[in-house]
A and B are shown apart, each in its own frame.
Chain A
């Protein structure tokens, strides 16, 4: 109990004094996760739309695979990325191991199936709704996808937030591919693991509260942004 209380007070103190290390670590957490989210959405959303509208033989199979990939254990993804990016691995020449880009890559791989699956559900539903109208209007494939993506943007936002939530709390994969290097690849989750391992529970809790606060703040910010776009609309 003492630890939780001292954790909370320590958290307040760290935040209100803008503790330099905390700012650095939290900033890096956000940078890595938001970058991963941006890249993942660029891949997952058009992919989801394409799979929703295009008729091809392997459609059911692709959807099943996407759903199954959601269950990929993140730490295994981290291990595989590690092996691939290691100097003695196939992509070693790029020297990406133990850098933030490696962490971003791992997180992208982890959240793309999640975002794509959720997005695909909503897009598919909307496509069933719009199908007759859009076919009658003779839209091109590109127009079709753009219309569906735009009109399901609320649901897509939810998908993106799900991806964000998964990524910001991720620790296993990014620990492995990032190496938790102080001032280079240490983020909130890996710092929490480190401090806990050192027995510094109060500090770990403080970092934990900051992480929760950050995650909630980002969620709220995105919702607010989405609403102020158009007032009182759908």
Chain B
């Protein structure tokens, strides 16, 4: 079993056209639990996730995994804020990542049906994915991400566009994934969701890691004034 963790990010930065978007940031991730990345809009949450996942280029610094970067990438998945649906059926969407990895059609189909069941999408297997509701699409995206059993799952504000019921369903799936050993990193605006899911928190401000720590510490006794203001609900820059 490939070991991804611990992951070490050293002085990572992302710059575009000379402007510093994120960093420098130092970060260590171990193999357990759920990390929530928080901060006001424009703080660089999405960019940070992309840097760690490898879909955004590092302008400086490096990221070291316990294995090679390529192998690490193979065991990760990403769920976007607005789900990207393949123009195919729900079933075909679920099968797709498995087929990419050379899994046989029959086996992939079985797995897909199981997962559809698990997330409550079974009656929609034959439906075209793009016509699903927002909540259904995000559940599909999540199932599609989890179907390859990733060791690390990134989620970028997954429930931002969803209603209460859909959010609850998503969070339930996430809790279940966490309990079966998938490491979660998700960004969110929703303080309540953060409290519900986080084991530890990364608080970003102006592209830098302003505060970090275990969840109970951050929420009950935040160190910095900005974090306190943020948790109070003030607008923080």
Q: In the complex where A130-B84, A234-B88 touch, is A136 in contact with B74 (Cβ < 8 A)?
A: no
Distance in Å: Cβ of B123 to nearest Cβ of chain A: 15
Contact B100 A137 (CB under 8 A): yes
Q: In the complex where A139-B100, A143-B100 touch, is A133 in contact with B128 (Cβ < 8 A)?
A: no
Contact A233 B100 (CB under 8 A): no
Contact B80 A138 (CB under 8 A): no
Cα of A234 to Cα of B89 in the assembled complex, Å: 8
Interface residues of A in 190-226 (CB under 8 A from B): none
Cα of A233 to Cα of B130 in the assembled complex, Å: 11
The answer to the question of A132 belonging to the interface, with a C-beta cut-off of 8 Å to chain B, is: yes
Q: Which of B55, B88, B96, B97 contacts A135 (CB 8 A)?
A: B55
Contact B87 A234 (CB under 8 A): yes
Please give the residue numbers on chain A whose beta carbons come within 8 Å of chain B beta carbons, in ascending order. 126, 129-130, 132-133, 135-139, 143, 147, 151, 233-234
Which residue, A130, A133, A233, has most C-beta atoms of chain B within 10 A?
Answer: A133
**Beta-carbon nearest neighbor of B129 in chain A:** A234
Cα of A136 to Cα of B130 in the assembled complex, Å: 19
Chain A interface mostly: helix
Interface residues of B in 125-181 (CB under 8 A from A): 128, 130
Q: Could you say which residues of chain B place their CB within 8 Å of the CB of A135?
A: 55
Q: In the complex where A132-B55, A136-B55, A138-B74 touch, is A233 in contact with B89 (Cβ < 8 A)?
A: yes
Contact B74 A151 (CB under 8 A): no
Contact B89 A136 (CB under 8 A): no
Please give the residue numbers on chain B whose beta carbons come within 8 Å of chain A beta carbons, in ascending order. 53, 55, 73-74, 77-78, 80, 84, 86-89, 96-97, 100, 128, 130
**Beta-carbon nearest neighbor of A154 in chain B:** B87
Q: Could you say which residues of chain A place their CB within 8 Å of the CB of B73?
A: 138
Contact B80 A133 (CB under 8 A): yes
Contact B128 A233 (CB under 8 A): yes
Contact A151 B87 (CB under 8 A): yes
Q: Could you say which residues of chain B place their CB within 8 Å of the CB of A137?
A: 77, 97, 100
Contact A130 B86 (CB under 8 A): yes
A sample of 9 inter-chain contacts (CB < 8 A) reads A129-B84, A133-B84, A136-B78, A137-B100, A138-B74, A143-B100, A147-B86, A233-B89, A233-B128
Contact A132 B80 (CB under 8 A): yes
Q: Could you say which residues of chain A place their CB within 8 Å of the CB of B80?
A: 132-133
Cα of A135 to Cα of B80 in the assembled complex, Å: 12
The 5 A-B residue pairs with the shortest CB-CB distance, nearest first, are A133-B84, A136-B78, A234-B128, A151-B87, A234-B87
Contact A132 B87 (CB under 8 A): no
Q: In the complex where A136-B78, A138-B73 touch, is A151 in contact with B86 (Cβ < 8 A)?
A: yes
Distance in Å: Cβ of B105 to nearest Cβ of chain A: 15
Which residue, A135, A136, A147, has most C-beta atoms of chain B within 10 A?
Answer: A136
Distance in Å: Cβ of B58 to nearest Cβ of chain A: 16
**Beta-carbon nearest neighbor of A136 in chain B:** B78
Q: Could you say which residues of chain A place their CB within 8 Å of the CB of B55?
A: 132, 135-136
Distance in Å: Cβ of B176 to nearest Cβ of chain A: 22
**Beta-carbon nearest neighbor of B141 in chain A:** A133
Q: Could you say which residues of chain B place their CB within 8 Å of the CB of A233?
A: 88-89, 128
Cα of A130 to Cα of B130 in the assembled complex, Å: 12
**Beta-carbon nearest neighbor of B76 in chain A:** A136
Contact B84 A234 (CB under 8 A): no
Q: Could you say which residues of chain A place their CB within 8 Å of the CB of B78?
A: 132, 136
